Structure 1
């Protein structure tokens, strides 16, 4: 199963005609994850032809408006569309109070359960897990409490070597699960067939790291090491590093340094200041340090892995 990332919005605080604030849709192992929900996210979801009913887990990095102001409207639309299944919202402590206050004052009746997973730890923690995927927080250094998120497939089962297996009639279909999980197979005469003969190596697990608003923060490097794709904010070019530090942001050059030190496969930049009309200057700067750097393309589904 393929993993696709659709960047719905990648601008900084102010929406423009051509770019919306931060929001991403991640389709991984048939799970649908929404990452941040800036203003206009549900319109972008419509343009990307994402079924709202697929989204059961929303991850909010922090409570600045360009990352969460689209959430009340999206949840209200869920209700109008007849949703009755629970929705999980992960975000900083305070997100429940913010959302429930809006719903109370606007008399918005959801009609379904919203489960808030409020975060306050300054250390990385696992916040979601199922049979195929794990999600971890990536603590960041912004002006307010902020997390990125690491989405990682669990190790996959080994592939059956059917050419070798067919040589042994004793191996039945019911044995395949144990073999794929790494077990050897013992024949009736006591001879043990090593698993390395009966299988081949599994496909490498896919991983994606989302680093939202943050200053240059090398503490993230061990958490995102060797990920297939890293999205990292780069609000300014490096000649405005002082402004980046003051406002809690990163330069394109610094994002590239993080990508290089973490040995990631691909870097996607985002969260650009509106002062820049030509965004190619960001890749020009970053590629001097990390050549495999790219600009986001709104609504393009990027295959990961």
Structure 2
């Protein structure tokens, strides 16, 4: 069964009671299990989505903001203590190797004890870390390619395209970036980060972070109607809005998102939520 499961759909690292969790996604395509980004809550969400953690296969990280990597190490460690004993390849941008080595160091005491006392295969023998940049990342039955996207101040942030019997493109975190349309051309699904600009002032006021946060949000993220522009230009089968800003403000409803997209594109649009499963 091919499916795309949105495990966490909130933009940003903060969490609230009964609110959405930060970004993570599961793509099951042609027998491969791919986790894209590992925000807080990814491990439990994968289990609730029915995935056996021992079958963890591929992990892709789009960039190194905390809401995309905070539970990366804990996910791998939990899969390992669950019984993972087959290789996992971790793909990430520049800096991913340093992150992984730092995580191993932080849990060196626990890992060494479990290897000695429980007979587990050392994590260093199971996890293969690969740094990627723009261009082809994987070839074969599952082809993966990356496109650099603007998400200042980060220099290494990427959209990802997965091609097998179906095609899925994930925008990563990005400002409006027209080249993404060519990258996503003809994809069955475009999963694009999205922001409601009318919510920005409320977010700024709520956090008390002022002009710097406002400037960051507008410089580094994509308005919902611009997501629709990318979808229209790419001719995708379906647009799914993800990494939502805001994700948990009751003053905004699904209709606000859909109305913004409808001004540009009349194709199918789905507003993401935690646990949403799309069959491909």
Tell me the TM-score normalized by structure 2: 0.82
Q: Is 1:288 the equivalent of 2:263?
A: yes
Any idea what the Cα deviations from partners look like across 1:33-73, whole Å, max 9, x if unmatched? 11111011001111111111222100100000101111011
Question: Secondary structure at 2:195's aligned position in 1?
Answer: coil
- 1:238 CA drift (Å): 6.5
Question: Secondary structure at 1:259's aligned position in 2?
Answer: helix
Higher RCO structure, 1 or 2 (CA under 8 Å, sep 6+) = 2
How is 1:201-280 mapped onto 2 (pairs within 5 angstroms)?
Answer: 205-237=165-197, 243=215, 246-274=218-246, 276-277=249-250, 278-280=252-254
245 and 39 in structure 1: CA distance in 2 versus 1, 3 angstrom threshold: closer
Question: Secondary structure at 1:271's aligned position in 2?
Answer: strand
Distance 1:31 1:276 in 2: 35
Distance 1:263 1:238 in 2: 27
In the other structure, the counterpart of 1:116 is: 129
Task: Work out which of the two has the higher radius of gyration on C-alpha atoms and give 1 or 2.
Answer: 1
In the other structure, the counterpart of 1:127 is: 137
Distance 2:6 2:239 in 1: 13
Any idea what the Cα deviations from partners look like across 1:172-217, whole Å, max 9, x if unmatched? xxxxxxxxxxxxxxxxxxxxxxxxxxxxxxxxx4110001110000
- 1:235 CA drift (Å): 2.5
- 1:297 CA drift (Å): 3.2
- 1:75 CA drift (Å): 1.2
Distance 1:29 1:96 in 2: 28
How is 1:131-210 mapped onto 2 (pairs within 5 angstroms)?
Answer: 132-143=141-152, 144=154, 145-153=156-164, 205-210=165-170
Distance 2:65 2:137 in 1: 21
Distance 2:219 2:258 in 1: 21
Question: Secondary structure at 2:37's aligned position in 1?
Answer: strand
CA RMSD, Structure 1 to Structure 2 (Å): 2.0
300 and 270 in structure 1: CA distance in 2 versus 1, 3 angstrom threshold: closer
Structure 1 residues 98-107 or 58-67, which shifts more?
A: 98-107
Distance 1:150 1:293 in 2: 19
Bigger proportion of residues as helix? 2
- 1:220 CA drift (Å): 1.4
- 1:289 CA drift (Å): 1.3
Number of equivalent positions: 248
Distance 2:238 2:80 in 1: 38
41 and 245 in structure 1: CA distance in 2 versus 1, 3 angstrom threshold: closer
